[in-house]
Structures are given as C-alpha cells and as structure tokens.
Amino acid sequence: MLSPEAFIDELWAYARTIPMGEHPWFKGIIEHRWTKEQIVQGEIQHYLRIRGNAIFFSHIAIAAAEQRQYGLMNVLLENIVEELTGPKSHMDICLQLIEEGGISQAEADQAEPAPGTMACIEMINGFCARHSAIEGMATLAFTEAQQGGPGGVAEKLYKELREYYGFSEYAAENYRVHAVEDQGHGGRQIDALREWATTEEWQAKIRHAVKLGLTAFTLEWDGHVQAMTGKREWWPGAAPSLDLKLPKVRFA
C-alpha cells in the first residue's frame, strides 16, 4: 500500500497523461484555432452537461448523509454553495456566453448532446448514484484542481476569450469564476482523498473513481469539439496512460 502522499502523487501522474490544458477544446482557444461561432457551439455542450450538476451533487450529498460522513458534507457544501446557489448559478453564467452568441436558453435546451457529452453525463451521474460520497468527490477533484488558480486553464481561457476573441466580461464570466473557485474546490477534495487513502481497499476505490472522472470530463471536452466540427473524434491524451493491471494469459 502506498502512503497517502505517494498515492496522491500517483493520481497526479495519471492526470498528467490527459492534461486538461492540452485538450483540443482548450488548446484550440488558447492558440486561436477556433472561431467565435465554434466556441459558442462548444459552450452549448458545456451547458448541456453543467445543467445536471445538481443531480450528481445530490447523489454525493445523499451518500454522505446516509454514511454519516459529516466532514465530507462540509467539503461538498462549499461546492454546492458556490456552484448552485446565489444570484447566479454556474449554469446561469455558462448561458451568458451562449446568449451573447445569439442562442436562447430554450434553443440550448433543445440542442442534441454530442456523443462525448452524452458519455460524460451518464458516466458521472451513474457513478455518483451508485458509489460512496468520497468516490463521487474523487471524480471531480483533479479536473477542478487543473482548471482553477493562477495559471490554470480557466484563467488562460478567460484572457483569450476577452482579449483575442472579444467576448464581453458578461459572456466570459464563467471562466473568471472557475479560475477563482475551482482551485479551492479541487484542493479541498484532494485533501479529503488524502485522508481516506489509508487502506488498500480505499486506495483502489479512489483510484478507480479518479480515473473514471478524468476520462468522463475528457469525453465532455471531446463533445465540445465534436459539436464544433461535426466529426466523431476522440482525443487520445498527451502521454501513454493504459498501465492496466491485467492477469497474464497462459495457454496450457
């Protein structure tokens, strides 16, 4: 069994094989490969996924309450307050960029999810409904940690959306908020994982959940690109990551 610190290092090593900032959706904005119209199409897919945040947060909260994991409830509550409450939820601010592109919420609601978007929604919602609170939290932790903070993906996107593409502050607000909030979300969740990673059984469960979450959100970003290009393509990642632990086949 790994020490909790070594275990978190292992999870970060896996996350670096599919780094968020290298995905064509994000990198294409940072390197100015996409048009404003394409970005709006991608953000519609983002909206279709993010409008279900309350579903998987509810699954995690119910699991934490049933298991009397009140420390996890406190970590989760900070996410819920920032993501789902207040004058504007994250869904509301996601809509702002879409509306600046001339698409109403009613039109966005009628949009068809791309294959990657559908896969992400079903993976995250289904997993969180069937697993423990800490496993549900693990699906989110490393994506949020990469997105937030100084130099994070959200800060870079916000800068390019405003300065190069000319989106208004109102339209780009989603990425400004993610840059501020998601570093805290991810950091608090990773701290919780570290506290739980004290047995081989929990390390195995958390490892599986982290890998599933990173895969699911990568599929979501694939969905952004699929909607923009009309091509059913999938990003393979930035480095080999299939270090699968499989039994050795032996023929008699």
| Nearest to 202, CA basis, from 131, 120, 140 | 131
User: In this predicted model, which residue has the larger pLDDT, 177 or 96?
Assistant: 96
- Say whether pLDDT at 183 is over 60: no
Q: Where are the domains of the chain?
A: 4-229
Classify residue 87 as exposed, middle or buried by CB count within 10 Å of its CB (0-12, 13-18, 19+).
exposed
Share of residues in the chain with pLDDT > 90 (%): 58
pLDDT band at residue 216 using 50, 70 and 90 as cut-offs: very high
pTM: 0.89
**pLDDT tens string 113-132:** 999 999 999 999 999 999 99
Share of residues in the chain with pLDDT > 70 (%): 90
pLDDT of residue 180: 62
Average pLDDT over the chain, rounded to an integer: 89
pLDDT of residue 113: 97
| Nearest-5° Cα angle at 146, 121 to 211 | 50
**Three-class secondary structure of residue 97 per DSSP:** helix
**Position of tokens 């047995």?**
199
Which of these ranges, 85-89, 175-179, 195-199, has the smallest mean pLDDT? 85-89
- Section 34-45 average pLDDT: 97
Q: Which of 42-51, 64-73, 231-240 has the highest mean pLDDT?
A: 42-51
pLDDT of residue 61: 87
- Second-level CATH architecture of 4-229: Up-down Bundle (1.20)
